[in-house]
């Protein structure tokens, strides 16, 4: 007679309990109203109720826990629950951790064994749920991914994850997995010992039930439970070495600005010397401390901005934030697409096989597209192919190109020297030389060649979309799609709406960029668009301070201390001083009252100092493969500065920081005033993804919130003699008077 738990008929919303004739009970989760299974309050409470039903009914042989949602075991905790933690006390947070941990622990506290089937995303709390089971089976499907990304939210696993992980794969591997926040696939999880087996998806349920029967018959789960309840054997020398090496790696990655990775290291090492129960209590205390931190609050906000961007179709009035109007919206009439997604573009083409065109083509190959690449220079085209395939087949895990994948992708890259090759393409991205006359000529030829429904885009960092659109017959289907260099590593893409660009074109461009795995931000056409316009004050001020006699190394050290990935003078060298010179001319012509073209940059260019690519700029660089490594400041720069020297000013590191960053904040406010972006939160997301603005500060405007508008006005006052670039804008003065924030 088959098992029939008394509660089997209970109408749970998230879980079904299915008794089988062999005595195994299959517990299947599907959380409605979410794109992925997430651990909502209801899902957790219904797990507890389902376990109640098993404990009060006939004793099962084993319990199998799985998801019936394709591609998702559990993608983690409900973000709304995490956000509310900032309002709770540490004691309340520790209590919540204990309650959740207790529910999960019930999966391995009964006589029967439990088996988790991991197919799809198994992240954060989802992995903690799987680890709470006695046995785990992962599938070898490409969508299966296991990991603890809590560190990216400024947190650590709080429902027993650090305790169980260290006992399962060892403290060293546990620190590496949890502190980095990276994911592993099913086969890798099996090699680590994170799961007990890895099987094809169609064999997962049968394998889990068979493994459950074997485990139950042998009672092997009981011995594993006993082992995992005690401390982890770790000799003192091994512990000290692990602590020293891991701390060095963590500090190298985080710069000491992110507390969660070190907290994970300390929690795992301390917990290894305790019983599992004692370690869990320590874990909860560490989680509570992190959950109350400003860093976690900002990182969760940034995560929310990413979620918001993923829902955004690039159009106004989409209801992304109910009851929350956007800032600086363009008020002209549009033909917006509210309901339907734009048709997918599956036949893309790229015109121009230079550095950017090749990077864009490689990005399409990585995303699974077949792409046509056109360049009239046959030699340039041929020389680009190997690099494109290497880039497209780059393996992030091994940090090298996968040769087999490169060969497989080669059949999807079509090259041509004649424009006729793009006749059937449905989206064409022009990426030729940054000269308006050449771009206009190429764009006209593209329009003549493609069909009337093809979207035409330009990859430009400086040329106004309105000017490039002038010779086109149908400018409504034309927009900017501005990728940043290097394309593979830079996730931000500016989608630039020209005066005539239709909503359909914008929505198509945004959707296509997302299919490439990028983060699109829609901006209105203007000199510098968004990112370069906000960046230029940062770069410009660093040169002004250099002219005042402040050392380059000091300026860059202060910027890195704030959390920027590199200082402004290092960034100048990486961009290329010739490239920066031309961009500076465009921005100086538009905003010369506050962003004047510096005479020092053309002097450096004239001297042959173009930055890393020539081995010398503001700094000297190593030779050959060491060109990315700064060797020393370039002594010759001092002689070039001398004719353009400015009076020295007494300054502190705090003043240097203010001079670099406050003009960026003022420019961001002007961007809002002019309606260049639809919402201030787009600025924060853009500077994080494109400029490396520290995520732990939440973005440029979020950083302004932490200061307050009145404090920003106060800090600008002693810098007023530097000129209008340091003068408060009317918006800032109004915000200071009213006490309003910079952004939501």
In angstroms, how far is CA 552 from the centroid of its own chain?
Answer: 30
As beta bridge partners, residue 524 has 497
Q: What is the pLDDT of residue 624?
A: 63
Residue 14's nearest CA partner among 24, 4, 41 is: 41
Write down the mean pLDDT value for the chain: 92
Q: What are the distances in angstroms from CA 606 to CA 25, 28, 415, 597, 602? A: 76, 69, 37, 15, 6
DSSP class of residue 162 equals: H
DSSP-derived pairing of the beta strands 413-416 and 371-374: parallel
What is the per-residue DSSP string for 303-345?
HHHHHHHHH--S-S---SSTT---SS---S------SSPPPP-
Express each pLDDT in 167-224 by its tens digit. Answer: 999 999 999 999 999 999 999 999 999 999 999 999 999 999 999 999 999 999 999 9
Please tell me the predicted confidence (pLDDT) of residue 324: 36
Q: What is the pLDDT of residues 684-735, one digit of tens each?
A: 999 999 999 999 999 999 999 999 999 999 999 999 999 999 999 999 999 9
Give the count of beta carbons closer than 10 Å to the beta carbon of residue 280: 24
Per-residue confidence (pLDDT) for residue 368, from 0 to 100: 95
Asked if 538 and 568 touch (Cβ cutoff 8 Å), the reply is: yes
pLDDT value, residue 335: 39
DSSP, collapsed to helix, strand or coil, labels residue 16 as: strand
Structure tokens belonging to residue 492: 């931000």
For the beta carbon of residue 228, count every other beta carbon within 10 angstroms.
17
- Write out pLDDT tens, residues 557-600: 999 999 999 999 999 999 999 989 988 888 888 898 888 888 99
Over range 314-343, report the average pLDDT. Answer: 52
What was the pLDDT predicted at 625?
55
| pTM of the complete model | 0.90
- pLDDT for 317 equals 66
Q: Alpha helix (H) ranges present in 14-89?
A: 41-56, 79-84
Distance CA 358, CA 350 (A): 8
The C-alpha atoms of residue 649 and residue 388 are separated, in whole angstroms, by: 49
Q: 3-state class of 291 per DSSP? A: helix
Q: In what order do the strands lie in the sheet with 455-458?
A: 413-416, 371-374, 348-351, 427-430, 455-458, 478-483, 492-497, 519-524
Task: Give the whole-angstrom CA distance, residue 405 versus residue 398.
Answer: 13
Predicted confidence band of residue 292 (pLDDT cuts 50, 70, 90): very high
Q: What's the number of CA atoms in the CB half-sphere (13 Å) around residue 179?
A: 28
- Residue 584 tokens read as 């500076």
Using DSSP, state whether 65 is helix, strand or coil.
strand
Give tens-digit pLDDT for 312-327.
999 986 645 543 333 3
Find the range with the poorest average confidence among 53-62, 421-430, 458-467: 53-62
Tell which wins on pLDDT, 77 or 365: 365
CB 744 within 8 A of CB 678: no
What is each CA distance from 128 to 124, 154, 194, 675, 715, in whole angstroms?
A: 6, 17, 11, 45, 46
pLDDT digits (tens, 9 = 90+) for 110-125: 999 999 999 999 999 9
Strands (E) in 119-203, as ranges, are: 121-123, 135-139, 145-147, 183-184, 197-199
Helices (H), 220-293: 220-229, 236-254, 259-272, 276-291
Residue 338 has pLDDT above 70, yes or no: no
Which of 291-295, 427-431, 566-570, 581-585 bottoms out in mean pLDDT, i.e. has the lowest? 581-585
Q: How would DSSP label each residue in 452-474?
A: TT-EEEE--SSS-HHHHHTT-S-
Arithmetic mean of pLDDT, 41-59: 92
pLDDT at 4 over 60: no
**Residue 444: half-sphere exposure toward Cβ, Cα within 13 Å:** 9
User: Above 50 in pLDDT, residue 637?
Assistant: yes
And the tokens for 242? Answer: 């692990």
- Reference 712, options 741, 683, 681; nearest CA is 741
Angle at the Cα of 432 from the Cα atoms of 428 and 437, rounded to 5 degrees: 105
∠ CA 423-426-428, rounded to 5°:
80
Structure letter (DSSP) for residue 159: S
Query: 452 or 624: whose pLDDT is higher?
Result: 452
pLDDT band at residue 622 using 50, 70 and 90 as cut-offs: confident
Domains defined for the chain, CATH in brackets: 15-291 (3.90.226.10), 348-525 (3.40.50.720), 532-738 (1.10.1040.50)
| pLDDT > 90: percent of the chain | 82
Q: How confident is the model at residue 392 (pLDDT cuts 50, 70, 90)?
A: very high
Indicate the SS3 state at residue 17: strand
What's the CA gap between 660 and 569, in Å, rounded?
11
Q: What is the pLDDT of residues 481-527, one digit of tens each?
A: 999 999 999 999 999 999 999 999 999 999 999 999 999 999 999 99
- What value does the mean pLDDT take over residues 440-456? 98
Q: For the chain, how many helices (H) and strands (E)?
A: 30, 22
Q: Quick one: residue 213, left, alpha or beta (phi over 0 = left, psi -120 to 50 = alpha)?
A: alpha
Helix (H, G, I), strand (E, B) or coil at 121: strand
pLDDT of residue 321: 55
Rounded to whole angstroms, how far apart are CA atoms 273 and 633? 48
Strand residue runs (E) in 515-662? 519-524, 619-621, 630-633
CA distance 633 to 639: 13
Residue 9 predicted with pLDDT over 90: no
Output the CA angle 549-554-558, nearest 5 degrees.
Answer: 130
Which regions of 580-650 does DSSP assign to beta strands (E)?
619-621, 630-633
pLDDT in tens, 82-102: 999 999 999 999 999 999 999
555 with 579: CB under 8 angstroms? no
3-state secondary structure of 519: strand
Catalytic residues: 482
CA neighbor of 515 nearest in space, from 229, 718, 310: 310
Does position 77 have pLDDT exceeding 70, yes or no? yes
pLDDT above 60 for 411: yes
Inter-CA distances, 352 with 358, 412, 517, 543, Å: 8, 17, 22, 33
The helix or strand, by DSSP H or E, that contains position 124, with its residue range, turns out to be none
Under DSSP, the state recorded for 426 is S
Q: How far is CA 463 from the centre of its chain?
A: 28
- Residue among 153, 93, 98, 165 at smallest CA distance from 127: 165
Backbone φ, ψ for residue 570 (5° rounding): -60, -40
For residue 278, how many C-alpha atoms fall within 13 Å in the half-sphere facing its CB?
10
């Amino acid at each position: 007679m088959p098992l029939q738990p008394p509660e089997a008929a209970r109408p749970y919303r998230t879980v079904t309990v299915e008794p089988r004739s062999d005595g195994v009970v299959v517990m299947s989760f599907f959380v409605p109203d979410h794109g992925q299974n997430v651990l909502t309050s209801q899902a957790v409470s219904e797990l507890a109720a389902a376990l109640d039903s098993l404990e009060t009914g006939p004793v099962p042989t084993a319990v199998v826990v799985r998801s019936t949602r394709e591609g998702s075991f559990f993608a983690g905790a409900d973000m709304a629950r995490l956000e509310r933690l900032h309002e709770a006390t540490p004691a309340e947070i520790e209590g919540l951790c204990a309650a959740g941990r207790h529910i999960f622990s019930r999966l391995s506290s009964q006589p029967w064994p439990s088996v988790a089937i991991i197919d799809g995303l198994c992240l954060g709390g989802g992995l903690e749920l799987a680890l709470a089971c006695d046995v785990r089976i992962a599938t070898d499907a490409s969508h299966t991914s296991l990991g603890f990304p809590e560190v990216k939210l400024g947190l650590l696993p709080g429902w027993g994850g650090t305790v169980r992980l260290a006992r399962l794969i060892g403290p060293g591997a546990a620190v590496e997995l949890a502190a980095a926040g990276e994911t592993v696939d099913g086969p890798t999880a099996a090699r680590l010992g994170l799961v007990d087996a890895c099987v094809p998806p169609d064999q997962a349920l049968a394998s889990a039930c068979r493994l459950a029967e074997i485990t139950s018959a042998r009672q092997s789960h009981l011995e594993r439970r006993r082992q995992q309840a005690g401390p982890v054997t770790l000799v003192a020398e091994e512990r000290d070495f692990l602590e020293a090496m891991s701390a060095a790696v963590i500090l190298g990655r985080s710069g000491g600005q992110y507390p969660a990775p070190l907290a994970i290291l300390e929690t795992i090492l301390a917990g290894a010397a305790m019983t599992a129960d004692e370690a869990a209590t320590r874990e909860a205390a560490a989680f509570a401390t992190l959950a109350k931190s400003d860093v976690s609050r900002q990182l969760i906000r940034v995560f929310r901005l990413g979620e918001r961007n993923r829902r955004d179709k690039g159009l106004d009035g989409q209801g992304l934030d109910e009851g929350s109007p956007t800032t600086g919206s363009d008020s002209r009439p549009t033909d917006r697409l509210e309901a339907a997604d734009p048709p997918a573009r599956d036949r893309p083409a790229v015109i121009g096989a230079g550095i950017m065109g090749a990077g864009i083509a490689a990005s399409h190959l990585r995303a699974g597209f077949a792409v046509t690449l056109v360049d009239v220079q046959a030699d340039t085209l041929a020389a680009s192919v190997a690099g494109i395939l290497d880039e497209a087949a780059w393996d992030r895990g091994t940090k090298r190109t996968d040769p087999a994948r490169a060969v497989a992708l080669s059949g999807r890259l079509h090259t041509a020297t004649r424009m006729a090759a793009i006749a059937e393409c449905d989206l064409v991205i022009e990426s030729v030389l940054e000269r308006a006359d050449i771009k206009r000529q190429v764009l006209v030829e593209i329009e003549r060649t493609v069909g009337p429904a093809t979207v035409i885009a330009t990859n430009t960092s400086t040329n106004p979309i309105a000017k490039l659109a002038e010779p086109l017959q149908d400018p409504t289907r034309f927009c900017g799609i501005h990728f940043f260099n290097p394309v593979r590593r830079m996730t931000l893409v500016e989608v630039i709406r020209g005066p005539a660009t239709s909503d359909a074109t914008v929505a198509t461009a945004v959707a296509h960029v997302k299919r490439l795995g990028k983060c699109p931000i829609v901006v209105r056409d203007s000199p510098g668009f968004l990112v370069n316009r906000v960046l230029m004050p940062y770069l410009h001020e660093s040169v002004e301070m250099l002219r005042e006699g402040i050392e380059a190394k000091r300026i860059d050290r202060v910027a890195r201390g704030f959390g920027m990935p590199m200082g402004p003078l290092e960034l100048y060298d990486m961009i290329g001083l010739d490239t920066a010179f031309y961009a500076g001319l465009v921005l100086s012509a538009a905003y010369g009252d506050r962003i004047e073209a510096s005479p020092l940059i053309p002097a450096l260019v004239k001297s042959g100092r173009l930055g890393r690519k020539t081995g010398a700029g503001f700094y000297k660089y190593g030779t050959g493969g060491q060109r990315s490594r700064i060797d020393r400041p370039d002594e010759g720069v001092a002689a070039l500065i001398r004719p353009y020297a400015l009076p020295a000013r007494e300054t502190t590191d705090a003043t240097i920081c203010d001079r670099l960053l406050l003009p960026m904040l003022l420019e961001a406010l002007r961007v809002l005033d002019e309606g260049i972006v639809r919402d201030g939160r787009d600025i924060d997301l853009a500077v994080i993804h494109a400029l490396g603005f520290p995520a732990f500060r939440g973005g440029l405007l979020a950083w302004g919130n932490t200061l307050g508008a009145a404090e920003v006005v106060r800090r600008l006052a002693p810098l007023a003699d530097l000129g209008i670039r340091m003068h408060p804008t009317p918006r800032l003065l109004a915000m200071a008077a009213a006490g309003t924030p910079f952004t939501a």
